[in-house]
Chain A
């Protein structure tokens, strides 16, 4: 195991420890890092961005009070420093640091100190258990994301299939929260959410299966490696990304995946289960305070996961849009940062698209939703799967250079 040797080299005192312990510790730190950068704080910042974008869409300010300026002027010692908050970071843009940046921290603190209300008719054990199940299902998907060049927390051979499987843990969790709330709106919202998530899993899985077929491997790192080259050019950068290959034919599975992914996260236009005008807040109506924030975090983690899968499978994951040869000589830490930067930017781009979609599009009705899934997306996904299979066969018959999945896969640990 190269990885263990690497760790032994870096931190010599680990040589005395048992192998499994080193490995567990390594994954634990990786997971902890992901939790504290990609899940919890990102939720907060995403809420701020969402509220500001919502304000833009509705021609009003979003939160712009609770920020560094107000924090500095509130504390007696730093009152004189408020001028610092008016600094213009980039002169020609002409705007100051936006206020309201700390809104999410204030909201988090408020949620933390709120009373934890469990309704009297509720099944208190299941009520408490539901956030765990939903969060476990959402967070465990992060274990296979290639956050940097061939660096993912766990290198599972069934990478993408594992993601599809573990995110189906969310469905009973949603049903559990709907049932345990002892509120008919919550129950109805839970059942609608469950049937929606479950229906849209099929076109999602089929479009991902298309990519797996074209790559020949379910391992996320292999899929990223196979996107290094395209159109016969090695290390092609942008041209190697799956969505641009095969003459752009993979755009359709890409769009199908993204639409299905939006629906899985219950995001408008598919947010019927949590529509305020319909069901108050759907399956998490009765949850308040900090318990609710876990559902919220799970939702934003799920959004990021959908974006991350879309980038890994279709957009090349951590691969930069310029040919990788430009940055080959850099030290390892710089390369790690570069990979993570591109992975994050691409995934977060999808989160921003989802946020924009929410504040632009009206909501689907439940029968329109089901019609879209079963009568539009599934036939298109199946058809495109067969078409791509034919294209791939045609390619292989012509003996074009095979995708360097196997060759590049040897380069990772």
Chain B
């Protein structure tokens, strides 16, 4: 089995080496052809052809962080379920339906978690606390009319 992972390492090294070789060749060629001429306007950040306005940081939506958090939980769930999926067929004659209910409980607990997060609105991209809105505002802010973040 160890040899197989040497193969993986070969793939990784080849990917890195490919880019390294490509970029080195490109540098040599572009110095040879004298296309390397840096200038201030070329080096400034790209803003659709206009002058850059403001600094290079913006306040971001906290949604990104919450999505990553929820992702980790489901990621670990997947990692724990993969060995189960692997042995399901083999162990079935011995454990029978215990295997199945086992998995159902596991997924059920996490599905409950997903339902909770869904109900509390943590999966919405633009978070509005609907109970603070007046009925007219609720209509105006319904999903069909929501702006993208």
Contacts and interface: CB of A to CB of B under 8 A. Distances in A.
Q: Do chains A and B touch in the complex (CB under 8 A)?
A: yes
Chain B CB within 10 Å — which of A35, A131, A155, A216 has the most?
A216
Given A191-B64, A291-B23, A183 B30 contact: no
A223 B36 CA distance: 51
A131 B27 contact: no
29 contacts: A27-B11, A35-B15, A115-B30, A115-B36, A116-B27, A117-B38, A118-B43, A119-B44, A135-B18, A136-B16, A139-B15, A139-B18, A162-B8, A183-B45, A184-B45, A185-B46, A185-B47, A187-B57, A188-B58, A198-B71, A202-B78, A205-B78, A210-B85, A212-B82, A216-B86, A216-B89, A370-B63, A370-B125, A375-B123
B130 to A, nearest CB: 15
Contacts of A390: 100
A139 B14 contact: yes
A35 B30 contact: no
A300 interface: no
Contacts of B60: 188, 191
Contacts of B71: 198-199, 201-202
B75 A202 contact: yes
A286 interface: yes
A260 to B, nearest CB: 13
Contact of A367 (B18, B82, B125): B125
Interface in A82-124: 112-121
A209 B81 contact: yes
Identify whether the interface residues of A are mostly helix, strand, loop, or mixed: helix
Given A31-B11, A116-B30, A156 B100 contact: no
Interface of B: 1, 3-8, 10-12, 14-16, 18-20, 22-23, 25-27, 29-30, 33, 35-38, 40, 42-48, 54, 56-58, 60, 63-64, 67-68, 70-71, 74-75, 78, 81-82, 84-90, 92-93, 97, 100, 103-104, 107, 111, 114, 118, 123-126, 143, 146, 148-149
B33 A31 contact: no
Identify whether the interface residues of B are mostly helix, strand, loop, or mixed: helix
Given A131-B19, A212-B82, A24 B46 contact: no
A285 interface: yes
A182 B56 contact: yes
A200 to B, nearest CB: 10
Interface of A: 1, 20, 23-24, 27-28, 31-32, 35, 112-121, 128, 131-132, 135-136, 138-140, 142-143, 153-157, 161-162, 166, 181-185, 187-188, 191, 194-195, 198-199, 201-202, 205-206, 209-210, 212-218, 280, 285-286, 289-291, 294, 365-367, 370-371, 374-375, 378-379, 382, 385-386, 389-390, 392-393, 396, 402-403
B87 to A, nearest CB: 8
